[in-house]
């Protein structure tokens, strides 16, 4: 990349040239404390950075189509692909715990 006065920014190691090729973009976000705590815990469990975890969660959320399914006027929630099935036994056990 050559700029005015014939200066080759690539050879000069100029920050403008180096930043142009960066794959990751840094920015500042205001993240609620509870979300940050949860993301840090996930990052620790997965041996990843907090940024990687938050980026993955954001990507998942952005890929998911909005739920428009309803039953009896109640919105239905989609289960994660890796979620175990909810059985009547599980529901009964949870109900019994609450009583």
Q: Per residue in 41-72, pLDDT tens?
A: 999 999 999 999 999 999 988 887 665 788 88
What sign does the CA torsion over 35, 64, 76, 46 have? negative
**Mean per-residue pLDDT for 18-34?**
74
Return the pLDDT at 80: 84
Q: In a 10 Å sphere around its CB, with 0-12 CB exposed, 13-18 middle and 19+ buried, how is residue 42 labelled?
A: middle
What are the start-end ranges of the E strands in 30-94? 70-71, 74-75
């Amino acid at each position: 990349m050559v700029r005015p006065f014939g200066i080759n920014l690539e050879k000069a190691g100029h920050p403008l040239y180096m930043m142009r090729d960066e794959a990751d973009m840094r920015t500042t976000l205001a993240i609620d404390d509870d979300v940050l705590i949860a993301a840090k815990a996930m990052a620790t469990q997965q041996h990843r950075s907090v940024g990687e975890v938050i980026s993955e969660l954001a990507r998942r959320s952005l890929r998911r189509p909005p739920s428009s399914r309803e039953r009896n006027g109640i919105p239905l929630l989609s289960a994660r692909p890796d979620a175990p099935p909810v059985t009547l036994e599980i529901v009964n056990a949870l109900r019994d715990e609450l009583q």
